[in-house]
Chains A and B, each alone.
Chain A
């Protein structure tokens, strides 16, 4: 086998331009597949990390009636914070959030919002709730950049908020925008206002109550608490995982097209080689090679194209991909509307597994594509091949 690899390498290098054209085409495929998958992996990691840091933490306890997809259930989705959370709350291992529906009236328009109350001294989530403590405003409110932009709000603006308390009575007040935060997680920004938890509990008439309790990602979860349902981080991140999976599947179409183009070039070269190199094939046999050795030789020649393509792709691809992994790729502003965490820039992530798997898949495909036309050699008559007679 070593001899055949050596001979195949010699033949390939000797062939020159034809080899390099195939190598270049295949190296593009290598690079684009790795780049695209790396981009999705990077997005996946970024989106999950940001969602954990801003929203889900290490999992959430939901009050039994809470259903984020059913806004009508919100009036029932609150309960006293169980005593099991007293110690973790004081240690900052969990943080409680009370959620209710409300309406704001920016620039004279009506805008439905979710009003979320969060502990002012929490550090578990990246919501900058500490701004409540620094503020002298009686009724401070935090909003995300997108909500601020959509409603023409800026720091210091007063907004009128209306809500229904625990008895179903409408109430309203003016609150001051104490801070505007930037986040890549739309689900803590779009159509949401954040207020101090104790204020919201008072406004709603729900002292010591919460809708969800977020726990620290590094702490063990006690999952059996009466009246509360624990949702693991994985379950909460499922929409992101599903979205990335869907994107990966659509990416497969791109890979298949790219690979098909590269494989077509290799297949074509192999067919042409066998057609043009009949005399050479006959000579190999006359000099003492078996037909099956010649088949293997031609197959290795094809397969080596993928090795050379891998090396070439590494040569120009590593600096390119590393540069993009460092500088990130800008994402169009409209992508915020996806409803999932999409940063302004996505930093591709190239894992060893991704690179190795891509190389293996391409090498196996190339070998198969090289082998298929090479089988024709086994049917050749050496005496005819020696004369270069078409068979």
Chain B
């Protein structure tokens, strides 16, 4: 599967109905992403980065064109199939962490495994392992409100990685973090990418993130303006 295409996008368009007309967020996107990439969709606000990530993550569907993720055409998936794809193969990291506020760190990280119906022992082992990677072993009983921003984002990464997904989609993961925490998080993600060959796709306009990317796909007004491989 190494270097094999896991995402194939052809002629992808996404329109939104707005008051006073139709807004085109993505316009004729063609992309191929292979396994193990550490890729970023970069561009200014409103360029369509998040929309593209949402479609790859089966949270949204294309208006036109095709988006095939891990062999499944996103536009043709029903609600259950899309949920199953997200549950088993995709991990999400969000700008504002989106941790479940009433759960402890352990419970937050455990959540995706509960949905996969893994047994107690296996779940516990995987959660502890994941938290250990992220250096959060001493925080397992803490609630998100008791953690710093950097720690919250590390919990979010642990939650995204705990089920060993094929693809992790990270939408502005460092936007709420200071520089030191941003670098720490990015190094961790890079390490996980190297260790597990998990494909990371970022949506960002943060230079710190861009500095770590091996491939930068620049979007401008919903179109791919540039697609470049860096030497990282």
Contact = CB atoms under 8 A, between A and B. Distances in A.
B103 A14 contact: yes
Contacts, number: 68
Nearest to B51: A383
A382 interface: yes
A287 B92 contact: yes
Contact of A286 (B50, B86, B102): B86
Interface stretch (A3-11, A45-53, A171-179): A3-11
A365 interface: no
A289 to B, nearest CB: 6
A285 B112 CA distance: 11
Given A286-B98, A287-B87, A10 B107 contact: yes
A153 interface: no
Contact of A3 (B83, B103, B107, B114): B114
B101 interface: yes
A278 to B, nearest CB: 11
Interface in A178-211: none
5 contacts: A10-B103, A279-B96, A288-B86, A383-B50, A386-B59
A291 interface: yes
Interface residues of A, number: 26
Given A279-B96, A287-B112, A288-B88, A15 B102 contact: yes
A293 B80 CA distance: 10
A288 B115 contact: yes
B111 interface: yes
Contacts of B116: 288
Contacts of A3: 114-115, 117
A282 interface: yes
A84 B217 CA distance: 109
A286 B103 contact: no
Contacts of B84: 288
Contacts of A286: 57, 59, 86, 92, 94, 98
B79 interface: yes
A290 interface: yes
B100 interface: yes
B112 A283 contact: no
A290 B79 contact: yes
A381 B50 CA distance: 14
Contacts of B87: 287-289
A344 interface: no
Interface of A: 3, 6-7, 10-11, 13-15, 279-280, 282-283, 285-293, 381-383, 386, 388
A292 B103 CA distance: 22
B3 to A, nearest CB: 27
Interface in B65-124: 79-80, 83-84, 86-88, 92, 94, 96, 98-103, 107, 111-112, 114-117
9 tightest Cβ-Cβ pairs between the two chains A and B: A14-B102, A288-B87, A283-B98, A290-B83, A288-B86, A286-B92, A288-B115, A382-B59, A383-B54
Contacts of B96: 279, 388
Nearest to B78: A290
A11 B98 contact: no
B98 A386 contact: yes
Interface in B9-44: none
B60 interface: yes
Interface string B139-182: 00000000000000000000100000000000000000000000
| Chain A contact residues: helix, strand, loop or mixed | helix
- Residue in B57, B60, B96, B115 whose Cβ sees the most chain A Cβ within 10 Å: B115
B79 to A, nearest CB: 5
Given A287-B92, A289-B87, A383-B54, 13 more contacts: A3-B115, A10-B107, A14-B101, A279-B98, A282-B98, A286-B57, A287-B86, A287-B111, A290-B80, A382-B59, A383-B50, A386-B94, A386-B98
Contacts of B107: 10
A289 B80 contact: no
A9 B60 CA distance: 30
A245 B178 CA distance: 71
Contacts of A291: 79
Contacts of B80: 290
A386 B86 CA distance: 14
A10 B102 contact: yes
Contact of A280 (B60, B100, B112, B115): B100
B59 A383 contact: yes
Contacts of B99: 283
Q: Which of A6, A10, A15, A288 has the most CB of B within 10 A?
A: A288
Contacts of A287: 86-87, 92, 111-112, 115, 159
Most buried by B among A3, A285, A290, A293: A290
Nearest to A385: B59
A282 B98 CA distance: 9
A170 to B, nearest CB: 87
Contacts of B59: 285-286, 382-383, 386
Nearest to A292: B79
A65 B24 CA distance: 95
B102 A289 contact: no
B126 to A, nearest CB: 15
A220 B111 CA distance: 68
B101 A289 contact: no
A11 B85 CA distance: 25
A3 B116 CA distance: 10
A288 B83 contact: yes
